[in-house]
Structure 1
Amino acid sequence: MHILIQLSFFVFGFSCVLTNETQFFNYITIKIYRGDVPITLLRQETVNTEPEVTEVIIENEPIRVLKTGTFRNLAKLKYIRIRSSALERLESFAFQNVTRLRTIDLSFNRIKEVPINVFANLTVSKLVLKGNGIDTISISAFYNLTYLRTLDLSSNNIMEMPMLMFDLTRNLRILDLSFNRLNQYPSFAKRTPYSYFEEPFYNINEFEPSTIDLSFNNFSYITSYMFRGLSCIGELKLNNNNVRKIDERAFEDLRCLKSLDLEGNDLQEISDRLLKVFAMAETLNLANNPWTNTFACKYEL
């Protein structure tokens, strides 16, 4: 009798483990593609039973947590879009062993934090986290994303980027951080000078289109090291910030800069040294700044 009770408990326990490991969604509607064939799955708990799936699309369905192993071992999966689904939390290894994955779009959810080991080491070329309200990004959150070309973090609540945020990620071409709360003040000089953008754009060349969009943030001061090492960046957007001061050395490394937008800031004057650097850009927008009369007359602004 004692043995039978133990066996029964073991079987029950095993059943519970299976249920927990296979239920990733709460009976939601999921659109998938098997190659070019669209299929709508109703009242689904998982997509891991679809080994031929190439795309997963979930919109306006309640998903509070993206659990570890949600897309485990889906060898043909290339595209994931989970939008407007009230997603709040990302667990580590949610995209475990999805070796052909190229695009992840988690925009317009409620994600507040990007923790480590969610996106690390993935094969994605495009990652969209727009419109979530993200305010915390962990160190190495985007670790070793060798193929990443586009990262969209726009329309969040990011105030500061951690050092080593892009550790071993060196092939970025487009980084969108617009409509956040980023700021960089002279007091930051007390910290170790660090160029947040040098590593992610490390392997760029002057013939490839590239963009860093920092528009609509709260920058008031552009430091000498902020864009250090970005010799081949093509487009830089700093419009609609609160920029009052730019260090004379801030843009010295930007020898391939084609477009610079500083519209809508609080600039009153710019040194001749900076203007010489600006002159190398094919397109320069300095409109809607409160220039002093002397400066405006001198340069016909």
Structure 2
Amino acid sequence: MSRFRRGGKTGDPRAGFRDQRDQEPAVPQGLIKAARKSGQLNLSARGLCEVPASVWRINLDTPEEAHTNVQFDASDRWWEQTDLVKLFLSSNKLQLLPDDIRLLPALVVLDVHDNLLSDLPGAIGELVNLQKLNVSHNKLKSLPQELAQLQHLKSLHLQQNQLEEMPNALGQLADLEELDLSNNSLRDISGCLGGLTHLSRLNLSNNKLKALPAEIGSLKSLRQLDCTSNLLEDVPTSIAGMDALEQLYLRQNKLTFLPELPNCKLLKELHVGNNQIHTLGPQHLSHLSCLSILELRDNKLKSLPDEIALLKGLERLDLSNNDLGSLPTSLANLPNLKSLQLEGNPLRGIRRDLLSKGTQELLKYLRGRIQVPDPAPGETPAVTAMTMPSDAPVNTHAIATLKTLEYSEKQAALIPDAVFSAIGSSPITIVNFSKNQLTEVPLRIVELKDSVCDVSFGFNKIQSIPLHLCMLQKLTHIDLRNNLLVSLPDELEALTRLQSIILSFNRFKTFPDVLYRIPTLETILISTNQIGSIDPLQLIKLTKLSTLDLQNNDLLQIPPELGNCESIRSLNLEGNPFRNPRAAIVAKGTAAVLEYLRSRIPT
């Protein structure tokens, strides 16, 4: 037989005996060499079906350059190599991890998410220095008991697997601070969970849980608990013992009443929408003085107690799709309420057009229904808007009792001096100059800088924000919707208490850079503009940002890094021309969008 094939190519008589592993994508020696110096090796998204032995033995075997170089400069001193402490193997095709993993005892971070792993080797328990383990997006059905040996583990990501039970081994990870078990098939949670006394974030969403163990109340350090999309019919009373809790998510379960949380005095967000809650009593509200978001949509509430006025810090209240026939006037006494959602309720006595005008108009209506007590015998009746002529420019009753300066829907091009003069010595906290024809912010508003915290200039013709508005350093809320704004001044970052800003229906072509520099922001509503891009690396710095509305802009792409903005709980992207994420994913809600984006982050 000829040793030559047709076409003149030389045949290799050993071709049929080659090790199949030779066909796998190779790990460049340059990466291995660099890893010996840095202690980090990133092999993500390389199509690996198995990890080359040279990776596991990186700190054991003598490198190839030791056999070829007879002289070494400072950069080639292979004997001074650094132990591998970070290994990234995500987004490959790995079906197993070998026991050789024990050869990397110095590992602090191991990331193997987005592979085909069906189990983990017991040898993983020998990685005693491991602090972060990410095995999410695999096919795990069980976990080895040896996980209990990882006593320094602080972060464990197990989401998007096929786990049906939580092993007791997890309860022995005393240093664990973050545990994500979402999107599995868990039917119950072991009481050993109570041993995780340092846990601050626990995600159990999208499982099949019918109950939570009473021991969950022992998680005294827990700040965030997410049980969204389970089958919970009740919540153990011990949950009230989690006095560090700040965010509680119980959406899409089968709850019939709100849990009582007398000791959760730091709770800021309570999400219990899509349940079967039919009763809301004073006992459910009286202790939640720090609550800023209460989400009760898609339940069966027929009424609200007057005690809802005790939630002085409440900023967002979602009551959509309940059975409410009326509203208590005490809602008008919530000084910080910015968003009140009532769609889908059979409300009587409130005109539909009033509901469509927004939160501030509705609160104004409720304030008008508050009964003013009759004067005592011999006392001069107080002058109110009811006793003033019908064309009076200012509601002096609102100034005196509600600390509100109201001059809206006047179609005025200027705010008359008489409006400011009517204030007297009253400490105004709310200013509403919406629905006029203003082309600029009145200069005299500076006179209120020591007290005002909420201003509304919506539905005007303002083209720019003056520097004197930036002097109102107690502002927590600004409403500038429906104006002609194209930019915001850098001086706006002086508003160090600002929590909410509404910029919808303006003419922004770029996301205002100054917003990235206001770390107190919790809500940014900037829909219906012409914004073409956002900077997720800057948004991540806004650690308190929970609501971001970017609907109806010109975003051609959504950067995957936006998925790392873990504080965001409401992200609205509809009406933009991007292709990914697909509409089906966007329709699933914020959690699904952020999870999708995180899975697309290149590593």
**What TM-score comes out, normalization by structure 2 length?**
0.38
- Aligned counterpart in structure 1 of residue 162 of structure 2, from 110, 115, 138: 110
Is 1:52 aligned with 2:106? yes
Specify the alignment match of 1:14 in structure 2.
none
Is 1:88 aligned with 2:129? no
Provide Cα deviations, 1:243-267, integer angstroms capped at 9, x if missing partner.
Answer: 1122431222212212111112121
Specify the alignment match of 2:240 in structure 1.
198
State whether residues 211 and 235 of structure 1, in contact with CA within 8 Å, keep that contact through their aligned partners in structure 2. Answer: yes
Name the SS of the counterpart of 2:171 in structure 1: coil
> Cα distance, 1:297 vs. partner?
4.2
Is 1:160 aligned with 2:211? yes
Structure 2 counterpart of 1:172, one-letter code: L
Structure 2 counterpart of 1:51, one-letter code: P
Structure 2 gaps of 5+ residues are 1-48, 57-82, 329-346, 356-603
Percent sequence identity over aligned pairs: 21
Structure 1 counterpart of 2:224, one-letter code: I
Specify the alignment match of 2:180 in structure 1.
128
Structure 1 counterpart of 2:228, one-letter code: S
State whether residues 184 and 206 of structure 2, in contact with CA within 8 Å, keep that contact through their aligned partners in structure 1. Answer: yes
Give the distance between the partners of 2:111 and 2:89, measured in 1 at CA.
10
State whether residues 150 and 173 of structure 1, in contact with CA within 8 Å, keep that contact through their aligned partners in structure 2. Answer: yes
Name the SS of the counterpart of 1:113 in structure 2: coil
Structure 2 counterpart of 1:80, one-letter code: L
Give the distance between the partners of 1:113 and 1:165, measured in 2 at CA.
16
Distance 1:237 1:70, change over 3 A: farther
Give the distance between the partners of 1:177 and 1:53, measured in 2 at CA.
31
State whether residues 211 and 236 of structure 1, in contact with CA within 8 Å, keep that contact through their aligned partners in structure 2. Answer: yes
Distance 1:270 1:256, change over 3 A: same
Is 1:178 aligned with 2:228? yes
State whether residues 34 and 55 of structure 1, in contact with CA within 8 Å, keep that contact through their aligned partners in structure 2. Answer: no
Is 1:277 aligned with 2:310? yes
Distance 1:137 1:39, change over 3 A: closer
Distance 1:70 1:227, change over 3 A: farther
State whether residues 29 and 61 of structure 1, in contact with CA within 8 Å, keep that contact through their aligned partners in structure 2. Answer: no
Specify the alignment match of 2:275 in structure 1.
241
Name the SS of the counterpart of 1:151 in structure 2: strand
Give the distance between the partners of 1:60 and 1:229, measured in 2 at CA.
42
Distance 1:277 1:29, change over 3 A: farther
State whether residues 179 and 203 of structure 2, in contact with CA within 8 Å, keep that contact through their aligned partners in structure 1. Answer: yes
Structure 2 counterpart of 1:197, one-letter code: I
- Name the structure, 1 or 2, with higher relative contact order (CA <8 Å, separation 6+): 1
- Aligned counterpart in structure 1 of residue 249 of structure 2, from 210, 213, 224: 213
Compare the two structures and name the one with the higher helix fraction. 2
Name the SS of the counterpart of 1:164 in structure 2: helix
Give the distance between the partners of 1:181 and 1:38, measured in 2 at CA.
35
Distance 1:148 1:29, change over 3 A: farther
Name the SS of the counterpart of 2:168 in structure 1: coil
State whether residues 220 and 244 of structure 1, in contact with CA within 8 Å, keep that contact through their aligned partners in structure 2. Answer: yes
Structure with the greater alpha carbon radius of gyration: 2
> Cα distance, 1:93 vs. partner?
4.3
**What TM-score comes out, normalization by structure 1 length?**
0.72
Structure 1 gaps of 5+ residues are 1-27, 189-193, 205-209
Structure 2 counterpart of 1:103, one-letter code: S
